[in-house]
Amino acid sequence: MATTSIWEARRRHAEDNYRPARRRAPRACDHCHDRKVRCDGSINGFPCTNCRLDESTCSVRPGLGKKIGGKQLFKARPRERIACASVGEAQAFDRLSSQKSSINSAFTNAPLPFSSYTFLKAPGLKQLGPVELSFLESQGCLQMPARHVTDSFVRNYFLYVHPCLPVIDEAAFWRQYQCSSTSQDERISLLVFQSMLFAASSFIPIDVAKQCGYDSLISARDELYRKSKLLYRSGVECDPLAIARSALLLTYYTSDTEIIANSRWLRIAIKNARSEGADRYYAPQVRGSRKQSDLKRVWWCCLIRDRIISLGMHRPIQITPSEFDVHQQGLTVEDLKDEVFYSEVYRPETKSALCQVLSSLCHFAVTVTKLLTIMYPAERGASMKAEGHDRVLAKLEEAKSSLLQWELDWMTPMNDKDCYLHSSLVLNTNLVALYYQSARIALCNHKCLMISDTNYPEAADQEQLGFCRTELVRAISSTAERVKQLLTNGVADKLPISAVAYTMLPQILLSVKTQLSRVPEDKQSHEVTLVFFMEVNRHYSFRYYTKRVLAVTSAALQLCQQSAMSNTDTDSSTMLSSDGFFDLFELRLAEYTRLLRYIDECFFMQDNPDEDKPLPITGIGASGDDMLPLPSLAEPDDSPEASTPAWMEAMEMSFFGSGTLDALPSSTPEGLVVLPFESPDSSQPERGGPGHDKSETSPEVLECLQLLGE
C-alpha cells in the first residue's frame, strides 16, 4: 500500500507540474542558422522553404541530427513514464506501442511537400503572391504522396502509359528521380509530374489509391486531374515544352460532363509545342537550346493523340497535312535507344519490342490521316460538296489501300512478336489492332453514308455495299477476337480511356445483329461474343466514366428496335436484295445510316457550350481559342426521375421524333441484347466478397471460353 501511495503521489505531482515543451526544429540549415530564423527542413525535408524561396544553397553542418530517430520522435512524456511504473506497467507499454505503430503508419502514408522531393521544380512558384500560394497549398497541389506511393504511381506510368505516349525521356527521368541532388535545369516539372500521376491513376492497385485517401480509382483520377488543372491555371510552369507534355497527358481525361476536354487539352499541347518549333524539329536552325529528340518525341506524341482522338471521337484532326509533313520519319528504336537499356520496369528485349509497337503506331497515325480528313473535315460535309461523290469514293479507295499496306508492313510482324516476353506486349499490340479495325469500320460506314445520300444508287454502289458488308463482318469479328485476347491474358484492366470509344461501336453493331437475327445458332454465337464486350465494359466502369456511353448505346439499340418494328409492316421489296446490305444488320440502308449519324452526333456535339467558363492559357499567352471549361460542381442526378439531359432531348428530336423513346416498350423484347456497364458503386454485393479482385476474369467469360473450346 505504501509503495502504491508513493507512485500515486508522484503521478499526481508530475501531472500538476507538466508543461508541454514548445516544439522546435531539431536542426537548422546553415542559411537559417546564420539568419536566426526558424527552419522547417528537418520537418518537411531539405531544401527548406526559406532556402527554396530565397534560391540559396541549403546545407546542413555535419554531425548535427545524429540522435534524431524513431526513439526521440516517440519519446514518452513524464506522466507516461510514471504510469508505466504502476501496477498496470505492461498494459501501458502495450498502449504506447500501439500508438507508436498507428503514428508510424500515418507518417508513412502522409503526403509530403513537393520540396521534399529534390527532383521536382516549379519555377513559376516564386512569382505567385501569398494568396495564390495559400490557395494551392489548401488544395493539396503543392503536396506529393509518400515516396513508396509515388514509386507505385511512377512504375505503373512507365508500364502502361509511356509505351504508346513517350512524352518524356524515361532514361533521363530515372536518373533525376533516383538522384538525391540535381541541378535546377535537370529537375522535373511539378506540373508534368502531377500530370504523370493523373495518367497513371487508372492503373495503380486500389490499395494504393486508398492509401492516398481515395475510395475508388475514378475519384483518384478526378482529384489528380483537378490538381493538375489548378497547377496549369496558376502558372507554376512557364516552359512551353513542359506545358505541352502535361497537356498531352491530360488528354486522357474525359467525363460525362466534359466530353471534349481531351480535344481542348490537345489544342493547348499543339500550340505550346509549336511555339518551341517542335513541328519543325528536323530543321537545325529552329532547335535553339532544345534537343532534337525532345522536340521530336513531343511533336509525334501530339500527332498520335490527334489521330487517336479524331478516329475514336469522330472529330476533325487538329494537325493537318498542310501544317506538317507527315512523311517525316516517326519515332524509332534509335530515338529511344537510351530507354531500352535504362528502363527500370522492362528488360531490354521487352523494351525494344515495345519501341517497335510505338513505331508501328506512328506509321498508323500517318496512314490514317487521309481517311480522317475525308470523314471528318473541319467544315462538316465540305468534302462531298467540294469534290463530288465519285471523287470522294476514289479517295476512300486510296485510303483503304494505304491501310491494307500498313497491315502487311506492320500488323503481320506484330502478330508474330514474342508476346510472352511481357503482358504489356499483348496489351499494346492488341490496342493498336483495335485502332486499325476501327479505321476499317469507319471507312466502310462512310461509304454507306455516301451511297445513302444518292437518290438512285447505281449498280456500282450496290457492289460497294456488298464489299462493305464483308469488310464490316471481318472487322467486327477481329475486334471481338482482340477483346477476347485482352481478357484471356489479363490485361483488359490496363486499357486506356480511348479504348472505350473503339469497342462501343462494334458492340452496338453486334448487338443489333443479335437482336434481329432470325437464325437461333447465329444468335447464340453472337451472344457468347457479346459477353466479352460486357466484361471489358465492366473493367472500364471501375476506372472511367461510362454513363454517357451507356446512354448512347441504349438509345442506339432502341433506334434499331424502332426500325425493326416498322420493318414488319413494310414491304420487303423496298429493302435491298438479299445479296446487299440487308444481310448484315437486318436494316434498310436508310435506317442503318441513321444509326451511324446518331452515334456521330453524340460523340461530336458539346454539352451546354454557352455555359462554359473560360480559363486562359498561362504558358504562352491566351487567346479566345484556348479555353478550358470549369468542372461542374454539381453531381449528376442518378435518380430514375431525373430529367432527360439536354443533349439526349436534342438527339431524340432529330433522330427519333419527340417522345419516341418514352413511347417504346420499357421491357426488353425477346432477342434484344443490352449489355450495361456495371457501376462500381452498385448496391449489389460484389462478386466473391469484399476481398475479391475486381480485375479478375468473371465466371461468365470463363464459361464462354469453354463454349468456344479455349
- Give 479-518 pLDDT, tens digit per residue: 999 999 999 999 999 999 999 999 999 999 888 888 877 7
Exposed, middle or buried by CB within 10 Å (0-12, 13-18, 19+), for 35? middle
Upstream peptide bond of 520 is cis (omega within 30 degrees of 0): no
* Residues 350/422, Cβ–Cβ less than 8 Å: yes
Cα separation, 634 vs 629, whole angstroms: 14
Quote the cell numbers at residue 153. Answer: 504511381
Cα separation, 146 vs 112, whole angstroms: 6
pLDDT band at 257 (very low <50, low <70, confident <90, very high): confident
pLDDT score recorded for residue 451 = 87
Cα separation, 350 vs 140, whole angstroms: 37
220 or 567: which leads in pLDDT: 220
Residue 468 scores a pLDDT above 80: yes
The whole-chain average pLDDT of the chain stands at 76
For 191, residues 6+ apart whose C-beta sits below 8 A from its C-beta are: 122, 228, 231, 232, 236, 237, 242, 243, 246
636, amino acid identity: P
pLDDT score recorded for residue 182 = 66
Alpha helices in 55-185 (DSSP H): 70-73, 78-84, 89-109, 130-138, 147-160, 170-178
The mean pLDDT of 236-265, rounded to a whole number, is 94
Q: How many of the other CB atoms lie within 10 Å of CB of 314?
A: 20
- pLDDT winner (highest mean) among 199-208, 254-263, 447-456, 693-702: 199-208
pLDDT score recorded for residue 86 = 42
Nearest to 319 by CA among 381, 385, 383, 273: 273
Residue 323 scores a pLDDT above 70: yes
Pairing of strands 112-113, 188-189: unpaired
Q: Rounded to the nearest 5 degrees, what angle is found at the Cα of 621, between the Cα atoms of 618 and 624?
A: 100
In degrees and rounded to multiples of 5, residue 675 shows phi and psi of: -105, 100
- Give percent of the chain with pLDDT exceeding 90: 44
pTM: 0.75
pLDDT score recorded for residue 416 = 62
Cα separation, 144 vs 110, whole angstroms: 9
Cα separation, 627 vs 632, whole angstroms: 15
CA distances from 209 to 104, 113, 147, 224, 286 (A): 19, 19, 14, 11, 43
> In b/e form, how buried is each residue of 334-348, taking b as 16+ CB within 10 angstroms?
ebbeebbebbebbee
pLDDT score recorded for residue 648 = 41
Residue 700 scores a pLDDT above 80: no
pLDDT score recorded for residue 14 = 54
In degrees and rounded to multiples of 5, residue 113 shows phi and psi of: -60, 140
In degrees and rounded to multiples of 5, residue 188 shows phi and psi of: -95, 140
The mean pLDDT of 322-332, rounded to a whole number, is 90
- Give 41-68 pLDDT, tens digit per residue: 766 667 777 777 676 777 776 544 444 3
Q: Rounded to the nearest 5 degrees, what angle is found at the Cα of 463, between the Cα atoms of 460 and 469?
A: 145
Quote the cell numbers at residue 225. Answer: 486531374
Residue 90 scores a pLDDT above 70: no
Residue 549 scores a pLDDT above 70: yes
CA distances from 596 to 376, 470, 512 (A): 14, 18, 12
pLDDT score recorded for residue 590 = 81
List the domain boundaries for the chain: 30-57
pLDDT band at 691 (very low <50, low <70, confident <90, very high): very low
Cα separation, 396 vs 322, whole angstroms: 19
pLDDT score recorded for residue 82 = 34
Nearest to 53 by CA among 62, 44, 61: 44
Of 344-358, 411-425, 608-622, which range is least confident?
608-622
* Residues 173/245, Cβ–Cβ less than 8 Å: no
pLDDT score recorded for residue 185 = 73
For 696, residues 6+ apart whose C-beta sits below 8 A from its C-beta are: 688
- Give percent of the chain with pLDDT exceeding 70: 66
Residue written as grid cell 464483308: 470
pLDDT score recorded for residue 564 = 64
H-helix or E-strand containing 121? Answer: strand 120-121
H-helix or E-strand containing 438? Answer: helix 423-452
Quote the crossing angle between the two packed helices 348-367 and 292-313, to the nearest 10°: 60
Residue 246 scores a pLDDT above 70: yes
User: What is the 3-state secondary structure of 288-322?
Assistant: CCCCHHHHHHHHHHHHHHHHHHHHHHCCCCCCCCC
Cα separation, 256 vs 546, whole angstroms: 7
Residue 21 DSSP symbol? P
Q: How many of the other CB atoms lie within 10 Å of CB of 286?
A: 14
Cα separation, 648 vs 219, whole angstroms: 26
- Note the residue count of the chain: 710
pLDDT score recorded for residue 685 = 34
457 or 530: which leads in pLDDT: 530
pLDDT score recorded for residue 25 = 58
Helix-strand-coil percent breakdown of the chain, rounded to 5?
Answer: 60, 0, 35
pLDDT score recorded for residue 513 = 83
Cα separation, 272 vs 286, whole angstroms: 15
* Residues 139/241, Cβ–Cβ less than 8 Å: no
The mean pLDDT of 449-455, rounded to a whole number, is 82
In sequence order, the β-bridge partners of residue 121 are 189
Cα separation, 219 vs 544, whole angstroms: 10
